[in-house]
């Protein structure tokens, strides 16, 4: 399991607002090329966002489903990328001091071929991807804070 965390200079609700806007996922989730559709109920349990991931012409279309949602502290998603597989991604948000949030991403492959191809290189790539994902999430959350 890859776990990455970052302190973002925005309160938990401000960061969660970005997670709750499914249309922004291609802006901050590394590897997501395009969001095709977002259920109106996103991010309620069972709701989905439909995305395309990977570079053209090899991009794959799939969807991600909310498994748990506890605003503004936790969001759990089953991210699909078939035929490669799917991952369970847990976002945990914890207040830190005045107006900051520690965001933790825990991600593990749950099904498909990626689940069986676990090695240090894959873990390193996943770690670096999630580190950049948190950097992008931070940029959006802090920009929204500054735009008010």
Per-residue model confidence (pLDDT) at position 80: 79
Give whole-number Cα distances, 124 to 9, 28, 100, 134, 147, in Å: 26, 19, 27, 15, 35
Closest CA to 42 of 18, 12, 11, 15: 18
Where do the domains of the chain lie? 2-147
User: 144, exposed or middle or buried, with CB in 10 Å at 0-12, 13-18, 19+?
Assistant: middle
Q: Tokens standing for 118?
A: 């676990």
Residue, of 114 and 8, whose pLDDT is higher: 8
Q: Is the pLDDT of residue 146 over 70?
A: no
0.95 cut: is pTM over it?
A: no
Domain 2-147 homologous superfamily, CATH: START domain (3.30.530.20)
Question: Rounded distance, CA 40 to CA 2, Å?
Answer: 30
pLDDT digits (tens, 9 = 90+) for 3-40: 899 999 999 999 999 999 999 999 999 888 889 999 99
- Contact, 66 vs 42, CB < 8 A? yes
pLDDT digits (tens, 9 = 90+) for 31-55: 888 899 999 999 999 999 999 887 7
Per-residue model confidence (pLDDT) at position 113: 55
Residue, of 102 and 32, whose pLDDT is higher: 102
Residue 42 sits at φ, ψ, to 5 deg, of -55, 130
Percentage helix, strand, coil for the chain under 3-state DSSP, each rounded to 5: 30, 45, 25
């Amino acid at each position: 399991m890859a776990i990455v965390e970052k302190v973002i200079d925005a309160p938990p609700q401000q960061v969660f607002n970005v997670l709750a806007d499914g249309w922004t996922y291609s802006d901050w989730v590394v590897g997501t090329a395009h969001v095709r559709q977002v259920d109106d109920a996103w991010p309620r349990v069972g709701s989905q966002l439909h995305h395309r991931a990977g570079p053209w012409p090899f991009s794959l279309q799939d969807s991600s489903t909310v498994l748990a949602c506890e605003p503004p502290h936790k969001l759990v998603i089953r991210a699909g990328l078939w035929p490669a597989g799917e991952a369970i991604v847990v976002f945990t948000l914890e207040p830190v001091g005045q107006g900051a949030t520690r965001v933790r991403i825990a991600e593990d492959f749950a099904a498909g071929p990626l689940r069986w191809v676990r090695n240090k290189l894959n873990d390193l790539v996943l770690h670096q991807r999630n580190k950049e994902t948190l950097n992008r999430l931070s940029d959006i959350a802090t920009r929204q804070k500054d735009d008010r």
